[in-house]
Amino acid sequence: VAARHLSTSQVNSDVNRVTVFGAGLMGAGIAQISAQANLKVTLCDVTDKALEVEWSGWTNPGSCSPLSSRTRQAKVTTRKIKPTDIDRNGLNIISKSVARVAKKKAPEDVEGFTQRVLANIETTTDTEKAVSNTDLVVEAIIENIKIKRDLFGYLDKKAPASTIFASNTSSLSITEIAEACSDARQANFAGLHFFNPVPAMKLVEVIKTDKTSEETFKTLYEITKKMGKVPVSCRDTPGFIVNRLLVPYMLEAIRMIERGDATAEDIDTAMKLGAGYPMGPFELLDFVGLDTTQYIADGWVEKAKDGAVPLELVTPPQVLKDLVKKGELGRKSGKGFYDYS
Ligand code: CAA
Ligand code: NAD
């Protein structure tokens, strides 16, 4: 390991080992597509609970219904969801998703494909060990700048100097997160923003700060292609490309039900059938996680004070805050704008 510590801010552009922090919705997906690309993956979380496997196969598809009390006039309806949608546990999410990918990529050897991918993933709660010999760190923990900065500040001291650091933040400033690290590391630091569900969504935004080296940027751009994704480049601005447009749209949809303009269900139907979106805004809010959406909005309210984003577009609506307070976070908790129990 010591031999891999470089004296200057050089980057290891030959990425073979990836460490993913956070075994939630996004971290699980990032670990999975990395393992599918034959990279050796270490998946690290703070709790064993987030890492263990409990999968018992494709059983019990549930149904869900909109919560009328939450949405004033929402009609009750049911639709089928798959058990994978409501799981929070990293390896559970991965096992089910890989099996799904295997059915398409290797229909003749689903079991073998699944086992090969899973064999590329090890899990740990030992943060120091997780980065002692890694080429790339991708962070996908809670959307909180202090917690992210604390983690990266610690990792900076423990990881080889050549290791690239990347954050999957939805909305926070990559520059501000990177500032928790040394100047040399800041050259090896960028944003790598994946989309949910990671195994299915093709896009990755690669975000370059003023300090990100060209070599770091190029290495990340290439590795995302190896992971089967299509990279786009973006400046370090609030929400990058997709979320800058998508989050204000979802927040306005919540304001529409607060005003009584239409029901959640009708808004979802309208956006799917009238605008061609694969999910309506309430389905998407539940899919993304209401806590994550509120963290994004709260962070941007702060940014609005400096004029970085318009305050009226990003102020979190009361209905969103109420649901988060009750722990109704969307699919991952079993209930959000819709009920998945
Ligand atoms: N693992 C592996 N594969 C998956 C998967 C998963 N978890 N979920 C879906 N897929 C694959 C399916 O196997 C299927 O593949 P093929 O077309 O090759 O057969 C394909 O994706 C479509 O899946 P389904 O047929 O099961 O269902 P669908 O057509 O309803 O699509 C969906 C599901 C892809 C999730 C679609 O509803 C969709 O695109 N929804 C919008 C998702 C979205 O907008 N995501 C971005 C959220 S914002 C974000 O992520 C940024 C942020 O920072 C908050
Ligand atoms: P999640 O709540 O599903 O998972 C977060 C995981 O991080 C949890 O398992 C938690 O135990 C773990 N964690 C918290 N602190 C940690 C630490 N110090 N070290 C290791 N693990 C830690 O959240 P998520 O939806 O996967 O979001 C993760 C990140 O990805 C956030 O920054 C979010 O904004 C971003 N993101 C989310 C989405 C989405 O649709 N949910 C899409 C793109 C990006």
ipTM of the complex: 0.98
Does position 234 have pLDDT exceeding 80, yes or no? yes
Q: Give the DSSP H/E element, type plus range, for residue 136.
A: strand 136-139
Same domain, yes or no: 136 and 31:
yes
Domain membership of residue 74 (yes or no) is no
| Residue 47 structure tokens | 């709790």
Catalytic-labelled residue, pool 205, 265, 283, 328: 205
Distance 315 CA to ligand 1 centre (A): 28
Same domain, yes or no: 152 and 256:
no
| Residue 224 structure tokens | 């995302």
Where does a domain end: 235, 270, 293?
Answer: 235
Distance 177 CA to ligand 1 centre (A): 29
Where does a domain end: 190, 218, 235?
Answer: 235
The burial of 202, by beta-carbon neighbours within 10 Å (0-12 exposed, 13-18 middle, 19 or more buried), is given as exposed
Sheet harboring 40-44: ordered strands across? Answer: 121-124, 40-44, 17-21, 136-139, 164-167, 189-194, 203-208, 230-235
Does position 173 have pLDDT exceeding 70, yes or no? yes
Distance 28 CA to ligand 1 centre (A): 15
CATH of the domain at 265: 1.10.1040.10
- Confidence tier at 72 by pLDDT (50, 70, 90): very low
- Residue 12 is predicted with a pLDDT of 79
Same domain, yes or no: 275 and 138:
no
Per-residue pLDDT averaged across 242-259, rounded?
Answer: 98
What long-range pairs does 315-322 form, CB within 8 A, spacing at least 24? 315/251, 316/251, 317/251, 317/254, 317/255, 317/258, 318/258, 319/70, 319/71, 319/254, 319/257, 319/258, 320/251, 320/254, 320/285, 320/290, 320/293, 320/294, 321/294, 322/70
Q: Give the DSSP H/E element, type plus range, for residue 29.
A: helix 25-36
Distance 273 CA to ligand 2 centre (A): 31
Domain membership of residue 72 (yes or no) is no
Same domain, yes or no: 99 and 131:
yes
Interval 280-299: pLDDT, tens? 999 999 999 999 999 999 99
- Residue 88 is predicted with a pLDDT of 58
User: DSSP labels for 63-93?
Assistant: EEEE-TTTSSSPPP--EEE-GGGG---HHHH
Residue 60 gets the label, from left (phi > 0), alpha (psi -120 to 50) or beta, of left
Nearest CA residue ID for atom 22, ligand 1: 200
Catalytic (active site) residue 5: no
- Residue 302 is predicted with a pLDDT of 92
- Residue 82 is predicted with a pLDDT of 37
Same domain, yes or no: 315 and 287:
yes
- Residue 92 is predicted with a pLDDT of 87
- Residue 132 is predicted with a pLDDT of 97
Same domain, yes or no: 149 and 276:
no
CB 271, CB 280: distance < 8 Å: yes
Domain membership of residue 7 (yes or no) is yes
Q: Quick check: CB of 81 below 6 Å from ligand 1?
A: no
Per-residue pLDDT averaged across 57-82, rounded?
Answer: 27
pTM: 0.89
> Does residue 27 have a known ligand-binding role?
yes
Catalytic (active site) residue 52: no
CB 122, CB 41: distance < 8 Å: yes
Same domain, yes or no: 15 and 138:
yes
Where does a domain end: 210, 235, 260?
Answer: 235
Q: Quick check: CB of 137 below 6 Å from ligand 2?
A: no
Same domain, yes or no: 229 and 260:
no
Same domain, yes or no: 198 and 325:
no
CATH of the domain at 153: 3.40.50.720
- Residue 9 is predicted with a pLDDT of 58
What is the Cα 77 distance to its own chain's centre? Answer: 29
Same domain, yes or no: 202 and 259:
no
Interval 77-104: pLDDT, tens? 222 333 333 355 788 889 999 999 999 9
Same domain, yes or no: 131 and 198:
yes
Domain membership of residue 84 (yes or no) is no
Same domain, yes or no: 172 and 291:
no
Domain membership of residue 38 (yes or no) is yes
Pick the residue with more confidence: 147 or 10?
147
Cis peptide before 83 (omega within 30 of 0): no
Domain membership of residue 309 (yes or no) is yes
Nearest CA residue ID for atom 1, ligand 2: 24
Q: Quick check: CB of 95 below 6 Å from ligand 1?
A: no
Mean pLDDT for the chain?
Answer: 88
Q: Look at the alpha carbons of 283, 286, 292, 297 in this order and tell me if their dihedral is positive or negative.
A: positive
Q: Give the number of C-alpha atoms closer than 13 A to the C-alpha of residue 169, restricted to the C-beta side.
A: 33
Domain membership of residue 73 (yes or no) is no
Nearest CA residue ID for atom 3, ligand 1: 200
CA distance 234 to 70: 36
Q: Quick check: CB of 278 below 6 Å from ligand 1?
A: yes
Does position 74 have pLDDT exceeding 70, yes or no? no
- The number of beta carbons lying within 10 Å of the beta carbon of residue 179 is 17
Domain membership of residue 12 (yes or no) is yes
Q: Which domain holds residue 211?
A: 2-53+89-235
Tally of domains in the chain: 2
